[in-house]
Structure 1
Amino acid sequence: MSHVVSALVFAVALFAGVTADPASGAERLAPYGANLSQTSVSGLSSGAAMALQFHVAHSGVVKGAGIIAGVPYDCAERSLPRATSNCMHPDATHPVPDPAHLKDLTDALARAGDIDDVANLNGARVWLFSGRKDETVFPVVMDAARDYYAYYVPPDGIVYRNDIGAGHALVTEDYGDRNCGATKSPYIVDCDFDSAKALLEQIYGPLNPASAQNAGKYVEFDQKEFLPDGNAYVHSMSDVGYAYIPHVCAMEPCRVHVALHGCKQQAAEIGDAFYKHAGYNRWAETNHIIVVYPQTISRLGWGFPFYTLNFVWNPNACWDWWGYDSADYPTKKGPQIAAIRAMVDRLATKP
């Protein structure tokens, strides 16, 4: 999300552009018999927007969410200008979207069956974060995300941290840029605060102490099979996703947490900084949690073959929170949301 604005200054592209996928050799994501009802999700920036969308769309199975520098549900309402103004840099002429209006949109989608029954959110556990020095998504937008959730989630189910001088980045205890207020690649900052622990603890309750050394395995898995048409590129997703599997999860049921990177934070751009060092895995190792790290790619213009008319304007590998891929982007029918749900369902399938 932090670089969505740059899309507005380009002319219409005639040819496709794509960031190369990470190393080949991806395997089929294996089933582990995970507990589907203990699924959770979190994300930064566009990943936070997608995390909130996924939570609302699949509230029947998603126990809780961690939203870091995100936006309220369907904030953009299928408009890129609205996304980059009202939902990121609101001002007097582009006010923050009204949470009550977004609630009405949500309720209508639920009545139509496009998302799960919003009554499920009554039992949700939510952790929200906005850095005091975030100039990419103004803190007032996260205030609106809090107010949106408050329509559905009881007060004791919501924790909102906005007291740390962080920039537009994922906050860790000991990894990333030592300047906590920085907003630059890889968008991970060392603020002496463990956001992964905080959000997982809010969702799941007290955690066992973190592992000093991750003994589980990292998996590169094929994302193509989880897309409705089997074509990840068409939907601005990488052919390859990542997962961290604690050893214990091969022997007994675990929970699943989906961690979604932000714009320009995909593995093709920043390597393993997010899926190995964002702080999730050391808590997952000792708390029976499989962590899935789905991946996007950069798409700029027409795809191939041209006669398919597959035009995607996503030069910074953001998750779809304004409709670049599908008008159904915030619902269960949205291709990216459907793909993530299919990944979770695979992990919940018995071996």
Structure 2
Amino acid sequence: MTASEFDSYRPPEPPRRRRRDRDRRSKGGAGSWFKRGGDGAREMPVVPDAEVEPYTSYYGRPVVKAPPWKKEIALYLFLGGVAGGSALLALGGQVTDRTALRRNGRLAALGAAGAGSLALITDLGRPERFLNMLRTIKPTSPMSLGSWVLAAFSTCAGVAAAAEVDELTAERLPLGPLRAVLRTTAPVAGAGAGLLGAPLAGYTAVLLSDTAVPTWNAVREDLPFVFVSSASLAASGLAMITTPVAQAGPARALAVMGAVGELVAQNVMERRADHVAAEPLHQGRPGRMLSWSERLVVAGGLGTLLAGRRRWAAVLSGAALLTSSALTRFGVFYAGLESAKDPRYTVEPQRRRLEARRAAGQTGDSITTAG
């Protein structure tokens, strides 16, 4: 007979009866067998009952698995907003004949899209994995549509930026007969990049909120508005730094609208989200990032509105808005990852929604019939 450490949990066995006693007891028939608990109803549990704390999980392990995304994805979220907003400002400069704004916007759009693609490929591990995402188009997948939006945007931004580089170098690029084609297609490519700028800046919010990560999923209805406003701040701030104030009028207008939009959207997002699931947005490193982001939005917006026509004020305000946009994207990104580590952020909102459905009388579905 072997012994183990779990034998201490086993209740003591009653003394064994002699076979003659067992035979005498069995003469009572089947009825007496069930009356005496011979069906196993008197068996003791082998291990003690587990004590589970409310709003937690088995052994406190996470309920959902956080995506294996690193800081490269957070950088991609930020650069995607810079690229999309810059392309939109470049289109505005193209329409209003602001040469410096158009040129800086096109170059910034291509540079941010290229750096963002590099960050995405770095996180994927191998470049061919990005190409594999372009094999099919799946309308129900934000990642599939986003990959195609990024590819189309980068193509248009590349053509428009090539025309600007050729003009800056006094037509020294060895283009030959392609120069005429480039000059003809550049306005169309610039318009295409400008139209794709908003989807590029906002699809990453849908990509995050389409997951089971508690905080991202809790703010799914308002996060796209926050990200689009954040992209406006990043692009306008960069344009105010790189563009003379005489041609940066559209950038200043976009900066003021983006600042108001971000403050309103972020407050609405935090108010409408479940208060438990929104806790990571106010705690730890994500909370500090978002707190400083709000302060920089106010400072940059006021500086743009009151003294944006002065060069030094435009540069300082633009830097504040650009930094604020980066802190917003990084803060939301890290808040989601933190929420996936604690099962409370998953279990407690689910139980609260379940109780609300039961209180409303919705008990005829598979969600509310248990317990």
TM-score normalised over the length of structure 2? 0.26
- Structure of greater relative contact order (alpha carbons < 8 Å, 6+ residues apart): 1
Q: Which has the higher helix share?
A: 2
Higher alpha-carbon Rg? 2
Q: Which has the higher strand share?
A: 1
TM-score normalised over the length of structure 1? 0.27
